Structure 1
């Protein structure tokens, strides 16, 4: 009798342990954990987005610098040409003055060459002797005026982009400070989350391995989700980057953020999608979560602050956050909120 009782205790203990491994985070902390994950994800997305914006703005400033230099050179060259043309016209007018005594007094009464050229008599005299030169002068003045306006517009654009860059950096700094505060204030809870997530990953490892075999062989998954050939290629491409570190604004195998990983993986398969998660969510066809298939994108937030690649049976590949690497996660641990289809 005693032996039977011991066996019952052992069996009960085993089931209790299994329940601990597969269980969701404890009920009393589940909402707190979900809220923390949401805040951290939003902050990381804000930082990644501002890193992308900063790179774009810095590139724009560099381009504008080159355009401004070219525009300034163009205006300078045209002004030099105008001054040379004025000297030539001045010489021509003096020649006319010497040969036409009747017009001599009129020309000397005009104050400055610009006024002289606006004078009907002056214009007529120059046109009679050198119409092409007078036309060139007029067109050059108009062109310089136009180029000067373009230069002023570029200068205004340059100043505006510099202001945007300063605002972007300020926002990025504020987001980083807030993220550091959240991490510091929730150090114990984050350690608990990490431990429980690792337990779940280990518990579901066999299922992950089986899932990969199904994907590689193009088989129907246990949930009867279809794996198309294109989805299979995309999923296997994403698998190559498991273990790559998360990097804010990362878009290459040296380091990815969540949307950078998605953009890279699809690009390797000849499919172009936008850069950031919000734009990715907005650009593709939304589908009900109940209809999600391998190769679809799954999102958190609206507008999205996180994105991942669904690979089947509730799993997705994601670049989670700083300090972590590209990995596979199950939706029971981190449920996605919406889905979209890139593949037809």
Structure 2
């Protein structure tokens, strides 16, 4: 990542030293440190955003599993109650049959021995002869309860696994936040330098950005006069509405966006569906050479991607950068993207 003002300083210093330079340039070391820091910060922010999204999905899955378990428990309870009623009816029927059988009067069924009686061949045959439908219903109901009970046990296991996965996700998110806080604490001076460089570049390029917007509205790219497609133009102008919206980990609405949440939102506003996170967005689009990038394409950092933005023409892109910042326009001379992908054909 080559910052504009740093590049100028390096150029000036290089011309003074000429070809005789032997030692590493301190400015180059500083720039390398800035690049590495920015990379780590974006990776950590992406990890946090991804785990926030995962946490939301897992919490919803747990809620759905809980509801499903409640439904399943009620189903088992209803079937068990129906079975109990059927057992009473069968028991009464068996006793009635026995009372009619003079040879069996001495062995009347005990009230608490109905299950053993039903398992005896003579008793079952008697029930089937007198009420085959009821006996069949009893057998099928027992099988259904057994099946439903196993289903309930599986749901309970899934619920426990989902709870464990959620806990692991929260722990990962906590660790990433702690690492991020430590990086910020350890690199206060570099961060201040990055912020100042970015502020200076934004001021220097502000007038050019205004011209760029006018060209986009006219459907043209600033430097090439190449036409900007209607869909790309609509998406870019949609994204422009959210400049100034704060960065929020896992954010997917105008209340706050993360990088991929912003992309998903503005494309969805124009009838184009994108996956939720930057890695999935990178995998979903058609990769193109950076030299062929056009307004409306997505640009990425990392493979798999840990950051994504919307290319709007002439080296500019709209991004949701990081916590403490807002949706903004940035030039690739300040933060060069590493790959690009086409969504619109």
Asked if these proteins are the same fold (TM beyond 0.5), I'd say: yes
Q: Which residue number corresponds to residue 198 of structure 2? A: 197
Q: Is the 8 A contact 2:221 2:227 kept in 1?
A: yes
**Cα distance in 1, alignment partners of residues 79 and 334 from structure 2:** 67
Q: Which residue number corresponds to residue 333 of structure 1? A: 334
Cα distance, 1:107 vs structure 2: 6.5
Please, which moves more after superposition, 219-228 or 143-152?
219-228
Cα distance, 1:312 vs structure 2: 0.5
SS at match of 1:340: strand
Q: Which residue number corresponds to residue 303 of structure 2? A: 302
Q: Which residue number corresponds to residue 124 of structure 2? A: 123
Cα distance, 1:258 vs structure 2: 0.3
SS at match of 1:286: strand
Q: Give the number of equivalent residue pairs.
A: 326
Please, which moves more after superposition, 112-121 or 33-42?
112-121
Q: Is the 8 A contact 2:221 2:314 kept in 1?
A: no
CA offset digits 1:182-206 (Å, max 9, x no partner)? 0010001000011011111111112
TM-score by length of 2: 0.90
**Cα distance in 2, alignment partners of residues 293 and 115 from structure 1:** 80
Q: Is the 8 A contact 1:225 1:293 kept in 2?
A: no
Q: Which residue number corresponds to residue 248 of structure 1? A: 249
Q: Is the 8 A contact 1:246 1:255 kept in 2?
A: yes
Q: Is the 8 A contact 2:5 2:197 kept in 1?
A: no
Cα distance, 1:74 vs structure 2: 1.1
After TM superposition, what 4+ stretches of structure 1 lie above 6 angstroms from structure 2?
A: none
From the superposition, tell whether residues 104 and 314 of structure 1 become closer, same or farther in structure 2 (CA, over 3 Å): farther
Please, which moves more after superposition, 250-259 or 206-215?
206-215
Note the 1:224-263 alignment, pairs <5 A: 224-263=225-264
SS at match of 2:341: strand
**Cα distance in 2, alignment partners of residues 34 and 320 from structure 1:** 15
CA offset digits 1:297-338 (Å, max 9, x no partner)? 001011110000000000000000000000000011111111
Q: Which residue number corresponds to residue 23 of structure 1? A: 8
**Cα distance in 2, alignment partners of residues 99 and 173 from structure 1:** 75
Cα distance, 1:114 vs structure 2: 3.1
Q: Which residue number corresponds to residue 223 of structure 1? A: 224
Cα distance, 1:220 vs structure 2: 3.9
Q: Please tell me whether residue 97 in structure 1 is matched to residue 91 in structure 2.
A: no
**Cα distance in 2, alignment partners of residues 107 and 211 from structure 1:** 97
Cα distance, 1:245 vs structure 2: 0.2
Cα distance, 1:259 vs structure 2: 0.4
Please, which moves more after superposition, 166-175 or 94-103?
94-103
**Cα distance in 1, alignment partners of residues 142 and 108 from structure 2:** 21
CA RMSD of aligned residues (A): 1.9
From the superposition, tell whether residues 97 and 316 of structure 1 become closer, same or farther in structure 2 (CA, over 3 Å): same
Q: Is the 8 A contact 1:300 1:336 kept in 2?
A: yes
SS at match of 1:248: coil
SS at match of 2:192: helix
From the superposition, tell whether residues 143 and 162 of structure 1 become closer, same or farther in structure 2 (CA, over 3 Å): same
From the superposition, tell whether residues 121 and 334 of structure 1 become closer, same or farther in structure 2 (CA, over 3 Å): same
Q: Which residue number corresponds to residue 113 of structure 1? A: 114
Cα distance, 1:292 vs structure 2: 0.6
List gaps (5 residues or longer) in structure 1: 1-18
CA offset digits 1:49-88 (Å, max 9, x no partner)? 1111111111111111111111111111111111111111
**Cα distance in 2, alignment partners of residues 167 and 98 from structure 1:** 65
**Cα distance in 2, alignment partners of residues 151 and 298 from structure 1:** 46
Q: Which residue number corresponds to residue 87 of structure 1? A: 88
Note the 1:159-198 alignment, pairs <5 A: 159-198=160-199
Q: Is the 8 A contact 2:53 2:250 kept in 1?
A: yes
Q: Which residue number corresponds to residue 5 of structure 1? A: none
Q: Is the 8 A contact 1:22 1:200 kept in 2?
A: no
**Cα distance in 2, alignment partners of residues 24 and 307 from structure 1:** 29
Cα distance, 1:112 vs structure 2: 3.5
Cα distance, 1:227 vs structure 2: 1.1
